[in-house]
Amino acid sequence: MELIYDYPVVVSLIVIIAIVYHVFKKHVNEKVKVMYETYKEVPTLTGLTGAEAARKLLDANDLSQVKVEQSGRGVLSDHYDSYAKAVRLSKNHFNRSSLISITIAAHEVGHAIQDRDKNSSYRFQQKILSFIIFAIKFHVQTILITLGIGLILFAMFGLERESAFMTPTFISGGVLAVVGLILPILDFVFPIATLKVESDASYRAINQMKRLKMICNAEEEQRVKEILDVIRLTYVIAVFE
């Protein structure tokens, strides 16, 4: 059966999808900006700073060994380091007593809890991330090693033994090709895995905040949900980039 493609229609659909994506991305970025500006000055009823909230949440979950540190990477550089066992908060969240500060702190503690519980989605995401980092470094190192070996053999054996030069180049080229094929696949799978992990961390965050009375009323709870929902949208965008 012969398939007939209407190329103008296909091209039009691609253009429409691209436009919708960019409009949605712009909307999400604007929403993140508005949300941040709105809630960064909203104080918490408990008076806790981001660092204090993180410490309280960690201790309540038997994670006293996990450190709470200030990140030096700038605004919105908050993250959990699974290797150093540390929750790192940006300067504007570490010392500030605001609703967004304690919400982001609770979200990062959610990752620490995932790590402690050996959450399958979290561990899968971390393995992908580790492989991507390794593959990128390996890619560069392999190119340099290949060139080095090739030049040495070429200098030793000359043009008569050109095949000696080609052998390591061919082998390492094959390895590079395999890595090059795997990386784009992981580049797509990683944000999907991340979306699931981040959603779970947000779910844990709000539950922990309610359990430890960091959320004092229904209005504050609704604001916390809004902050976490906007954060989640940024990961939805990442899936399609």
What pLDDT is stored for residue 134 in this prediction? 64
Catalytic residue status for 108: yes
The sheet carrying 67-70 orders its strands as: 67-70, 86-89, 79-81
- What band does 39 get if pLDDT is binned at 50, 70 and 90? confident
- Asked if pLDDT for residue 3 goes beyond 60, the answer is no
- What band does 193 get if pLDDT is binned at 50, 70 and 90? confident
What pLDDT is stored for residue 60 in this prediction? 95
Q: Which amino acid belongs to residue 47?
A: G
Output the CA torsion sign for 141, 146, 149, 150. Answer: negative
Q: Which long-range contacts (CB under 8 A, 24 or more apart) does 207-212 make?
A: 208/57, 208/60, 208/61, 208/106, 208/109, 208/110, 208/113, 209/57, 209/102, 209/103, 209/106, 211/60, 212/56, 212/57, 212/60
What pLDDT is stored for residue 165 in this prediction? 44
Instruction: Note whether 61 and 80 are within 8 A (CB).
Output: no
What pLDDT is stored for residue 44 in this prediction? 87
Backbone angles phi, psi at 85, to 5 degrees: 55, 60
Of 52, 108, 198, 220, catalytic: 108
87-138 pLDDT, tens digit per residue, is 999 988 999 999 999 999 999 999 999 999 999 888 888 887 776 666 666 6
Which is more confidently placed, 16 or 175?
16
- pTM value > 0.95: no
What pLDDT is stored for residue 159 in this prediction? 46
- Asked if pLDDT for residue 179 goes beyond 70, the answer is no
Instruction: Note whether 94 and 44 are within 8 A (CB).
Output: no
Tokens of 120: 């399958």
Please tell me the distance from the alpha carbon of residue 55 to that of residue 57, in angstroms, as a whole number: 5
- Asked if pLDDT for residue 231 goes beyond 70, the answer is yes
The DSSP 8-state label assigned to residue 90 in this structure reads -
